[in-house]
A and B are shown apart, each in its own frame.
Chain A
Amino acid sequence: MAESRGWPGALSGVRGGILKISLILAALYLVVSLLPHVFEVADYRQFPVIGSRVLVWCLAQGHLMFAGFVLGVPIFALIAEVMGVVLKSERYDGLAKDFTRLLAMSYTITATLGALLLVALVALYPRFVAHMEKVFDPTWGFYVAVIFGEALFAYLYWYTWDLLQGSRKGWHVFLGVMVNVLAIGILVITNAWTGYMMTPGGVEGTELAITVTSRFDAFVNYAWMPLNIHRMLANVCFGGAIVGAYAAFRFLAATDDEERANYDWMGYIGSFIAVAAFIPLPFAGYYLGLEIYSYSQQMGVSMMGGSFAQLWILQAILIGSLFLAINLYLWLAMGRIPGGERYRKYQAPVLVVLATGLAVWATPHTIIATFAEMKAMGAAHHPRLGVLGLMSAKNTAVNLMIIATFITFMLYRRGNKRATSAFAVPGNWIQGVAFVAVVVGIVWIGIYGYFVPAAVRVGLSKYQPLMVGGFMVLFLAIEGPAYRGAKSLGEIRWGQMPRISQYVLFFLAVTFTWLMGLMGYIRSGIRQHWHVYQVMRDTSEGAYIPTHGFATMVVSIIVIIFFLFVSMVFALAMRSELRERRAS
């Protein structure tokens, strides 16, 4: 069983975990209560060497990354466990357990980083904390209660894994459901605070002279629901990528074929989860952007066309790299599938679509150029390439990249199958016609967008993802009957993957993490010199937008520190597994 003997052993583990969380929270409360007595009254205090802003930035982002991981992993751990029950597969149950193994230590790191963040905020930004306290005071106690509940169910979920098997499995699934329900509770509470800072509501007045007119409006602010959806998807995606990285590490360090096969499979599942959650993520991002624009046109314009505009080029490079890496991994993985070589001919066209899409997406509309360059071009944007910087071109590029990746995945799924059903040939034709139709449709909308006013163009942009989604649903609906009873060309040779494929999994994890850091910076930065947009000004020394170079270097350092912590989690998970093996 999971590191314990019988119920007393399991509950000893739970007791240890709850005690750890209790000590962290008690120490946090004591420190936060003592701080006002230690320091003189001030609006801001400066942290030595790196400054208050960078310290809080690093702590907040690090906390958010671990929080994203511990909130995302239980979702697909539970799904894997339920699949194990439904398919009566011990393999899926073992996979779910391996996912959960990574959580125990991560909870402690998340709580510690959260505690450090709060201490830093109270010590360095007391005026801002006082404002938030006035608005959200009733939520603090509730939040702590939910954290305790989440920790209790998470530790129970882990420590009772082997106890609640067989006829008692339903109870274990119930524990998993509770872990997720409470995790969502944590997410929605914290998103209310973050959303309020961006799109505040429910208050009158400014600075500390505010009256809370509606706590409900302060909580359910404009950005709240889009943040909930966006972060939920991003957490699953991020969790999948980190699990994939763990599997890659175990694959590379494996000493026998069985272990290698197991972690090859785990890496595949991890990356599949990451990609599945990644596909709808841009649309959740659109929704968040839409709400930001609805709240304040100026904030929206600052985000997309002002100080942060150039960072979207970097975002395009990151997402383009993700698409390339996902496809590379799948093509490499097809090498271990008997029959997969039949589809090798499609690699080149897919690569062309992805590379062209990346180039289009990363092309800025307005290039920062010297006077001589502008004179040569005749404008601030390039006479021909400049058109690729517009929304029409970028939307077309990303939708074609999504379709190309989907096709790669479907070919991977078909790898070792030969369709024998009578519906296979007409089904394939329908899929082919639908593919041509959707590509033509996407390209046509992209070109048409250049000939209509901006408002119409923005309205058109929703039809492209709808067409992509419709195509995917149709393709999958046909795939089932077309490949029912298909002849197998051989079993997948799990573990027979080139080592480079595992570095691709690490590339995915690092790129997802870096993307999360960048988007976190943009989301927070668009408040500019406001702690709470339009309600509370930031008058501290750090109330300015740093250079892109400075910001991206801070993001890089945060990502490196995060992965050092993650390696600690990996090491502890391996040690826990070793202990468990010895015990059994």
Chain B
Amino acid sequence: MRAVFLRILGFVILITLFYGGIGRWWLTQAEEHPPPELEITVHTDADTLISMGRTLLGSRGGCLLCHKISEQGNTRGPDLRGVGARAASRKPGMSSEAYLVESLVNPGAYVVEEFATAGGASIMPVANRPPADLSPTELKALVAYLQSLGGEVTVEITAQDVAVAAARKEPPPASLDTHPGADLLTQHACIACHDVKGTMRLVGPPLTNVRERLSATEIRQSILDPDAVVAEGFPPGLMLKDFAQTVPPDELDQIVSYLSGEVPLAERLSHPAVHLVALILLFNGGVWIMRRLALSRAVASGEPNA
């Protein structure tokens, strides 16, 4: 038995390594990393911009998966050689730059006939949304490169482009905290006046450790009737008094629960741990009862193995 096992194990390892070896020694070896962030400013000169556009074309833009810029390449989309010259005359009255931007952000606006789907639509994804997700500056860099393919480069980076691109780089305002109350604090703009992650003194007192100072009832009162009890060092009358009208009751419960750490009974019962314990008790208890009944019946019928 052991000899059979070892022979089979050796056989399994051999086949496995054979397939692994094909991948290792026969196929091309290259890592593919996410494209680097490009630093584009109003001072970036045209040549650098064109070069960056070329990088985007082959990397994050993913353009070369369908288009080609040399004899070799893909033909799912139009050949981009000479596109700089064609773009200027593609749509009467529309500049080369405007046409190229439109083609990137709204590819269905004008579809080159032989590349349209049966319904006349375009298969091209929008360039300023994921997965390419190009910022206005990156979009212009790409347009500059495309214009350079047989046309005149007219693109200029503006301060507004740079500002919009910088804003896009900001991480979205969200946290790992999955308590719905955390999101509601943002939604109802509480974080505009209160620091919820640190101890910074903003317009109102920080809420980070509010549960150490106030009970759930007091927190609720502070939201619905802010001037009833005012935190030390803060003047009365600063906080809005219409939360009773603007915050729905269930959302208010979530906010109070999040800030106080006190969980209402209904919410406690919907906690995953309660569900898990209930399931464990239900299934184990059910089987236990079934077994007891089977034992009783076996004893009653005088089964020898009971």
- What residues of chain A have their CB less than 8 Å away from a CB belonging to chain B? 5-12, 14-15, 18-19, 22, 25-26, 29, 33, 41, 43, 126-127, 130, 133-134, 137, 140-141, 144-145, 148, 151-152, 205-210, 249, 252-253, 296-299, 301-302, 305-307, 310-311, 313-314, 317-318, 368, 379-380, 454-455, 503, 506-507, 510-511, 514, 518, 528-530, 533-535, 543-549, 551-553, 555-556, 559-560, 563, 567
Q: What chain B residues lie within 8 Å of A546 (beta carbons)?
A: 31
Q: What chain A residues lie within 8 Å of B131 (beta carbons)?
A: 296, 298-299, 528, 530, 533-534
Bound CA span A218–B17, Å: 39
Question: What is the CB-to-nearest-CB distance from B5 to chain A, in angstroms, rounded to a whole number?
Answer: 7
The answer to whether A298 and B297 touch across the interface, beta carbons within 8 angstroms, is no
Given contacts A18-B283, A252-B8, A547-B31, contact A144 B25 (CB under 8 A): no
Residue of B nearest to A17 (CB): B287
Out of B4, B275, B288, which one reaches A144, CB within 8 Å? B275
Bound CA span A130–B175, Å: 9
Question: What is the CB-to-nearest-CB distance from A512 to chain B, in angstroms, rounded to a whole number?
Answer: 11
The answer to whether A301 and B176 touch across the interface, beta carbons within 8 angstroms, is no
Q: What chain A residues lie within 8 Å of B294 (beta carbons)?
A: 6-8, 10-11
Q: What chain A residues lie within 8 Å of B4 (beta carbons)?
A: 249, 252-253
The answer to whether B287 and A15 touch across the interface, beta carbons within 8 angstroms, is yes
The answer to whether B24 and A552 touch across the interface, beta carbons within 8 angstroms, is yes
Q: What chain B residues lie within 8 Å of A551 (beta carbons)?
A: 23
Residue of B nearest to A19 (CB): B284
Given contacts A148-B283, A559-B16, 12 further A-B contacts (CB under 8 A): A5-B305, A11-B290, A22-B283, A29-B272, A148-B282, A152-B283, A208-B176, A297-B125, A310-B28, A544-B31, A553-B20, A563-B12
The answer to whether A41 and B176 touch across the interface, beta carbons within 8 angstroms, is yes
Interface segment among B94-102, B166-174, B216-224, B240-248: the answer is B166-174
The 6 closest A-B pairs by CB, nearest first: A552-B23, A208-B174, A556-B20, A534-B130, A549-B24, A7-B294
Q: Is B1 an interface residue (CB 8 A)?
A: yes
Q: What chain B residues lie within 8 Å of A151 (beta carbons)?
A: 283
Bound CA span A133–B76, Å: 39
The answer to whether B34 and A544 touch across the interface, beta carbons within 8 angstroms, is yes
Question: What is the CB-to-nearest-CB distance from B30 to chain A, in angstroms, rounded to a whole number?
Answer: 6
The answer to whether A311 and B27 touch across the interface, beta carbons within 8 angstroms, is yes
Q: What chain A residues lie within 8 Å of B20 (beta carbons)?
A: 552-553, 555-556
The answer to whether B125 and A130 touch across the interface, beta carbons within 8 angstroms, is no
Question: What is the CB-to-nearest-CB distance from A138 to chain B, in angstroms, rounded to a whole number?
Answer: 10
Q: What chain A residues lie within 8 Å of B27 (beta carbons)?
A: 310-311, 313-314, 548-549, 552
- What residues of chain B have their CB less than 8 Å away from a CB belonging to chain A? 1, 4-5, 8-9, 11-13, 15-17, 19-20, 22-25, 27-34, 62, 65-66, 72, 74, 76, 118, 123-125, 129-133, 171-176, 178, 272-273, 275-276, 279-280, 282-284, 286-288, 290-291, 294-295, 297-298, 303, 305-306
The answer to whether B74 and A144 touch across the interface, beta carbons within 8 angstroms, is no
Question: What is the CB-to-nearest-CB distance from B21 to chain A, in angstroms, rounded to a whole number?
Answer: 8
Bound CA span A137–B275, Å: 13
A-B contact pairs, 13 of them (CB 8 A): A7-B298, A22-B283, A26-B276, A253-B4, A298-B62, A299-B131, A305-B65, A307-B32, A506-B8, A529-B34, A533-B130, A553-B20, A563-B9
Question: What is the CB-to-nearest-CB distance from B62 to chain A, in angstroms, rounded to a whole number?
Answer: 5
Residue of A nearest to B64 (CB): A306
The answer to whether A567 and B5 touch across the interface, beta carbons within 8 angstroms, is yes
The answer to whether A553 and B298 touch across the interface, beta carbons within 8 angstroms, is no
Residue of B nearest to A555 (CB): B20
Bound CA span A553–B20, Å: 5
Bound CA span A313–B23, Å: 10
Q: What chain B residues lie within 8 Å of A25 (beta carbons)?
A: 276, 280
Given contacts A311-B23, A552-B22, contact A380 B72 (CB under 8 A): yes
Bound CA span A127–B66, Å: 34
Question: What is the CB-to-nearest-CB distance from B82 to chain A, in angstroms, rounded to a whole number?
Answer: 21
Residue of A nearest to B186 (CB): A209
Bound CA span A7–B306, Å: 9
Q: What chain A residues lie within 8 Å of B133 (beta carbons)?
A: 534
The answer to whether B31 and A205 touch across the interface, beta carbons within 8 angstroms, is no
Bound CA span A180–B123, Å: 40
Bound CA span A419–B23, Å: 48
The answer to whether B306 and A8 touch across the interface, beta carbons within 8 angstroms, is yes
The answer to whether B24 and A553 touch across the interface, beta carbons within 8 angstroms, is yes
Bound CA span A518–B29, Å: 16
Residue of B nearest to A574 (CB): B1
The answer to whether A130 and B30 touch across the interface, beta carbons within 8 angstroms, is no
The answer to whether A556 and B279 touch across the interface, beta carbons within 8 angstroms, is no
Residue of B nearest to A250 (CB): B4
Bound CA span A377–B31, Å: 27
Residue of B nearest to A252 (CB): B4
Question: What is the CB-to-nearest-CB distance from B178 to chain A, in angstroms, rounded to a whole number?
Answer: 5
Bound CA span A133–B178, Å: 8
Q: What chain B residues lie within 8 Å of A563 (beta carbons)?
A: 9, 12
Q: Determine which residue in B19, B171, B288, B303 has the highest number of CB atoms from chain A within 10 A of its CB, and name it.
A: B19
Given contacts A205-B172, A207-B172, A209-B173, contact A253 B31 (CB under 8 A): no
The answer to whether B280 and A22 touch across the interface, beta carbons within 8 angstroms, is yes
Q: What chain A residues lie within 8 Å of B15 (beta carbons)?
A: 507, 510-511, 514
Bound CA span A129–B275, Å: 20
Given contacts A7-B298, A208-B174, A511-B15, contact A253 B1 (CB under 8 A): yes
The answer to whether B291 and A8 touch across the interface, beta carbons within 8 angstroms, is yes
Q: What chain B residues lie within 8 Å of A313 (beta carbons)?
A: 27
Question: What is the CB-to-nearest-CB distance from A87 to chain B, in angstroms, rounded to a whole number?
Answer: 32
The answer to whether B29 and A547 touch across the interface, beta carbons within 8 angstroms, is yes
Q: What chain A residues lie within 8 Å of B298 (beta carbons)?
A: 6-8
The answer to whether B34 and A549 touch across the interface, beta carbons within 8 angstroms, is no
Given contacts A130-B176, A314-B23, contact A301 B76 (CB under 8 A): yes
Question: What is the CB-to-nearest-CB distance from B35 to chain A, in angstroms, rounded to a whole number?
Answer: 9
Question: What is the CB-to-nearest-CB distance from B96 to chain A, in angstroms, rounded to a whole number?
Answer: 25
The answer to whether B284 and A22 touch across the interface, beta carbons within 8 angstroms, is yes
The answer to whether B65 and A302 touch across the interface, beta carbons within 8 angstroms, is yes
The answer to whether A543 and B34 touch across the interface, beta carbons within 8 angstroms, is yes
Bound CA span A36–B283, Å: 29
Q: What chain A residues lie within 8 Å of B132 (beta carbons)?
A: 298
Q: Determine which residue in A8, A43, A299, A307 has the highest number of CB atoms from chain B within 10 A of its CB, and name it.
A: A8
Q: What chain B residues lie within 8 Å of A33 (beta carbons)?
A: 273
Q: What chain B residues lie within 8 Å of A26 (beta carbons)?
A: 276, 280
Bound CA span A49–B124, Å: 41
Q: What chain A residues lie within 8 Å of B276 (beta carbons)?
A: 25-26, 29, 144
The answer to whether A514 and B19 touch across the interface, beta carbons within 8 angstroms, is yes
Given contacts A252-B4, A297-B124, A543-B34, contact A15 B288 (CB under 8 A): yes
Bound CA span A265–B298, Å: 39
